C-alpha cells in the first residue's frame, strides 16, 4: 500500500503526497478549508449572540410596558419574561434594605416581596 496516495478532504481528489503528514492536495484546498472553518465559527458566534440578544430584548420590551410600576412577576412571566436573562446585577438599598437588582440593558427590576417586582429605567449618562 502506498502511504503517499491520499484523498484530499477538501476537494475529494486522489493525489500523491509530497510529505507523509500532508493533508490537502494543495495550498488552495488548505486555505479554503481553513476559511470555511473560520466562517463557521463566526456564524456559530453570531447565532449564539443573536439568540441571547433576542431573549434579552424581549425581556426589556416586557419591562418597558410596566416601567416605573410595581408588577406581579407572574404577569411578566405570562408575557414570556425570563428573569434569568439579564445583562448585569447590582446591589441597591431600598428603605434601608439591601436588594438584589437585575438589569436588562437600561431597565432594571428588583423584588419588593416574593411575587412583586419594582421596575425602573436608568437615566442616560450623556
Ligand atoms: Zn484538494
CA–centroid distance, residue 5 to ligand 1 (Å): 13
User: How much is the mean pLDDT over the chain?
Assistant: 95
What does the pLDDT read at residue 124? 74
What does the domain layout of the chain look like in residue ranges? 21-121
CA–centroid distance, residue 26 to ligand 1 (Å): 6
CA–centroid distance, residue 34 to ligand 1 (Å): 12
Q: Tens digits of per-residue pLDDT, 66-87?
A: 999 999 999 999 999 999 999 9
Q: Tens digits of per-residue pLDDT, 33-50?
A: 999 999 999 999 999 999
Q: Tens digits of per-residue pLDDT, 82-126?
A: 999 999 999 999 989 999 999 999 999 999 999 999 999 998 766
Please, are residues 105 and 82 in contact by the beta-carbon 8 Å criterion? no
Residue 14 Cα distances to 8, 20, 22, 35, angstroms: 6, 14, 13, 22
What is the DSSP-derived secondary structure letter of residue 1? -
Helix (H, G, I), strand (E, B) or coil at 92: strand
What does the pLDDT read at residue 126? 66
What does the pLDDT read at residue 43? 96
112 vs 110: CA distance, rounded Å: 6
Amino acid at each position: 500500500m502506498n502511504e503517499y496516495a491520499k484523498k484530499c478532504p477538501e476537494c475529494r481528489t486522489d493525489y500523491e503526497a509530497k510529505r507523509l503528514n500532508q493533508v490537502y492536495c494543495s495550498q488552495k484546498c488548505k486555505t479554503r478549508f481553513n476559511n470555511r472553518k473560520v466562517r463557521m465559527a463566526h456564524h456559530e458566534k453570531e447565532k449564539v449572540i443573536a439568540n441571547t440578544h433576542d431573549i434579552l430584548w424581549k425581556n426589556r420590551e416586557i419591562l418597558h410596558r410596566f416601567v416605573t410600576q410595581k408588577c406581579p412577576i407572574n404577569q411578566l412571566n405570562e408575557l414570556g419574561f425570563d428573569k434569568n436573562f439579564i445583562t448585569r446585577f447590582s446591589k441597591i438599598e431600598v428603605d434601608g434594605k439591601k436588594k438584589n437588582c437585575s438589569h436588562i440593558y437600561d431597565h432594571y427590576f428588583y423584588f419588593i416581596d416574593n411575587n412583586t417586582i419594582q421596575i425602573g429605567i436608568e437615566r442616560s449618562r450623556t
